[in-house]
Structure 1
Amino acid sequence: MANLHTPLFADPAFEAASNRLTIDLGALADNWRHMDRLSGKARAAAVMKANAYGIGIEPAARTLYAAGARDFFVASVEEGVALRPIVPDARIHILAGMWPGNEQLFFDNGLVPIINSEEQLAFFMSVLSQRGDHPCVLHVDTGMNRLGLTRDEALALAGDPARPASFSPVLVMSHLACADDQAHPLNRRQLESFRAVTAAFEGIESSLANSAGIHLGSDFHFDMTRPGIATYGGEAVNGLANPMKPVVTAEARILQIRRVRTGETASYGGSAQFARDSRVAIVAIGYADGYHRSVSGGGVTLRQATPSGAYGFLHGRQVPHLGRVTMDLSLFDITDFADNAVRPGDYIELFGNNVAVDDVARAGGTIGYEMLTSLGKRYERAYIEAE
């Protein structure tokens, strides 16, 4: 990524913003292509939930379509309606399925409902009896105990001689619960369960692997994979170095620099305590922007795993967070910089090329998914277009 302090962005609003996101669409495309290659003979879909993991559904969908994606997954029918004009000839799958009152949106926008229960199946079939055939996806739970028909329900459906001919799923899918732990025994149990279902629905395409599942190998790939977090630059597998390119760089402006004496405190609850004379950067970022209170440098009693809190990155070095993250502001320790090396108006990187989003997430006892999908509306966004 280009240096963010070069004249890359001509938008005055971006240059003046208190907090801002730089979104590298070239990295997004490269990440998706990497996961598509890892998928072997299977084709990779594009997962666009939660406003494309916080980066913006329009630029993300446009980029991934240009990279080769033709299958898209979103959480709700509303997301599907927003996505349809961006990828007019792609297949868009709706994870929440069809419900009474929203069925017209599926027909008007050519959206594919995912059938998650026998109740949804019954409603979908009643709609087809009035409107004619429409594609769907059958979701089978193979061990996560979340959405999906049970394996026994799916097998009974496959063998039911009274199953209407109009019920013609274009895909059978399931979802892995523990793929981020490659040694977990549930991975193999889910695979065997899913194989039994796909055999019963012979001739219909199938999909099991998410980002982490793709790394489990070709047995898990089937016809389609569904990489999500890896496409957006996040870690997919525990304990492995993340090979993906950062997509999002979050920065916030330093509003003020304070001098604090030895023995003084700062932030709510006196949660930052100073054993030396220090300089503190007051930064325009807080939990209202999705920079969670749990990443605080101190004063968050429930966090146990990483008591030191998060770091930012400023002028070539890491700087620790101090005290508690508040609604609009955070404090960072800049004592080790020379006087006048840091000035009000400078930007500090919260995560991006120099601070991994998953490292910040771990400091707050959460995951990169939550950091990205929590990005607030107060960020000014700039996009680096894919070549």
Structure 2
Amino acid sequence: MADEVRYREAGPDARLAGGQLTIDLRALQANYRALSRIAGKAHTAGVVKADAYGLGAEAVVPALVEAGCDTFFVALPTEGIAVREAAPKARIYVLGGLFGREAAEVYAEAALVPVINTREEAAIWEAVGHAGGKPWPCAIHVDTGMNRLGLTMAEARALAEENALTGALRPVLIMSHLACADEREHPQNRLQLEAFRAVRALFSGVPASLANSAGIVLGRDFHFDMVRPGIALYGGSPGGRTGMHPVATTAARIVQIRHAAAGETVSYGATVTLERATIIAVASAGYADGLHRALSGSGVPLRAASAAGGQGFVHGRRVPILGRITMDLTMFDVTELGDGALAVGDTIELFGPNILLDEAAAAAGTISYELLTSMGRRFHRSYVSNDDEA
């Protein structure tokens, strides 16, 4: 007998919201388990920064714990504190490092593991451990080619030699971040792999982590002891690999059906002139809701990829966006559905099982990460799960 489906609601009242964001926690858990299988012997953590990529850490984290995840990565200590409430027994790493001596005490109180990015942060964490009577756990982040955060190779070598003598730090993870994992054949991947192998050798016996979502599908050489999937958990296609289950579905409410004549124009700037009599569905979603203006059907001079713009999905068909997306409203050409096929109150899928997240992002000239984390709070949210999750 199938498990009973359970729904949990959040955000504005569904009757009053301009759209619906449905988060399928069952799909999230299936993605975690699939990635764990690919990772093999490597431990699989969950990256839940930016409020679990915009989907709500308060629901996502417990679902991942149910699926077997016991290690999480966040960007900020405030995020870590929120995750700690949802996962009391988990190990939680803070990628952004330490925000000064006073902040370090908060990390220790919440049992957050800072990712040390500088020698100054290392000194602060040493002092916190010394004051507490024992070194607190930390991760050591070494830059191997990203030039974002992390110790240089020279700094990492000096820190490793120093710590071998003093034992002032207790590193529980050594890590780096891939810059080009989305491009499987990019030479930077192999260069970073070799550099990270040298880093690992400096910290003998400390678990190592290099692979993000796309890094996982680069192969076992990149897995080391722990992998850190993020976007793949939420339905993105890491490195172009398909097979992740869609987790988030957005649908906008239709608030008006219009009939326009050939020769008329649509939306700001009059950037599209209708070539036929057209049925227009006006949907209650716009760039204030995360529906990027670059998805507009026309009038986006900065978009070089395609003039076509984005699409919606309704009643089994794709329908193109007409003209510029506005702050609160988007127009769709629904002529092919026929007169009377749609009514006020119906909804149009913006991305989900019929228009995949990566496809919608590509139509906007961006990436799935940005599209997900841009989703506003004006949509009603519904979390779907099973009563009896393993």
The one-letter code matched in structure 2 to 1:83 is V
SS of 2:84's equivalent? helix
| d(CA) in 2 for partners of 1:385, 1:59 | 10
- Give the structure 1 partner of residue 113 of structure 2: 112
- Give the structure 1 partner of residue 320 of structure 2: 320
SS of 1:13's equivalent? coil
- Give the structure 1 partner of residue 30 of structure 2: 30
Contact 2:216 2:227 in 1 (8 A): yes
The one-letter code matched in structure 1 to 2:274 is F
Alignment partner for residue 203 of structure 2, among 201, 206, 214?
Answer: 201
- Give the structure 2 partner of residue 127 of structure 1: 128
| d(CA) in 1 for partners of 2:14, 2:385 | 16
- Give the structure 2 partner of residue 3 of structure 1: none
- Give the structure 2 partner of residue 168 of structure 1: 170
- Give the structure 2 partner of residue 248 of structure 1: 248
What's the offset of the Cα at 1:173?
Answer: 0.4
SS of 2:349's equivalent? strand
| d(CA) in 1 for partners of 2:154, 2:139 | 17
The one-letter code matched in structure 1 to 2:116 is I
- Give the structure 2 partner of residue 141 of structure 1: 143
- Give the structure 2 partner of residue 227 of structure 1: 229
Q: In the TM superposition, what whole-angstrom CA distance separates every residue of 1:110-140 from its partner, at most 9, and x where no partner exists?
A: 1100101112112222222323321100000
Contact 2:181 2:215 in 1 (8 A): yes
Closer, same or farther in 2 for the Cα pair 1:9/1:197, shift >3 Å? closer
Contact 1:14 1:382 in 2 (8 A): no
The normalised TM-score by structure 2 is 0.94
What's the offset of the Cα at 1:104?
Answer: 2.2
Contact 1:81 1:105 in 2 (8 A): no
Superposed counterparts of 1:17-166, under 5 Å: 17-100=17-100, 101-132=102-133, 133-160=135-162, 163-166=165-168
Identity of matched residues, %: 51
What's the offset of the Cα at 1:85?
Answer: 1.4
| d(CA) in 2 for partners of 1:145, 1:325 | 36
| d(CA) in 2 for partners of 1:63, 1:9 | 13
| d(CA) in 2 for partners of 1:377, 1:71 | 27
What's the offset of the Cα at 1:274?
Answer: 0.2
- Give the structure 2 partner of residue 383 of structure 1: 383
Closer, same or farther in 2 for the Cα pair 1:161/1:287, shift >3 Å? closer
Alignment partner for residue 191 of structure 2, among 189, 195, 201?
Answer: 189
The one-letter code matched in structure 2 to 1:173 is M
Q: CA RMSD in A?
A: 1.7
SS of 1:142's equivalent? coil
What's the offset of the Cα at 1:9?
Answer: 8.4
What's the offset of the Cα at 1:165?
Answer: 1.2
| d(CA) in 2 for partners of 1:261, 1:40 | 59
The one-letter code matched in structure 1 to 2:120 is E
Contact 2:125 2:169 in 1 (8 A): no
Residue segments in structure 1 that go unaligned for 5+ positions in a row: 1-6
Contact 1:321 1:333 in 2 (8 A): yes
Contact 1:72 1:92 in 2 (8 A): yes
Residue segments in structure 2 that go unaligned for 5+ positions in a row: 1-5
The one-letter code matched in structure 2 to 1:320 is P
SS of 1:176's equivalent? coil
Q: Does 1:212 align with 2:185?
A: no
SS of 2:232's equivalent? coil
What's the offset of the Cα at 1:17?
Answer: 2.8
SS of 2:73's equivalent? strand
What's the offset of the Cα at 1:152?
Answer: 1.9
| d(CA) in 2 for partners of 1:209, 1:161 | 26
| d(CA) in 2 for partners of 1:276, 1:80 | 54
Closer, same or farther in 2 for the Cα pair 1:171/1:267, shift >3 Å? same
Superposed counterparts of 1:224-373, under 5 Å: 224-238=226-240, 240=241, 242-373=242-373
| d(CA) in 2 for partners of 1:244, 1:15 | 31
What's the offset of the Cα at 1:162?
Answer: 7.3
What's the offset of the Cα at 1:143?
Answer: 0.7
| d(CA) in 2 for partners of 1:122, 1:10 | 45
What's the offset of the Cα at 1:20?
Answer: 1.1
The one-letter code matched in structure 2 to 1:260 is A
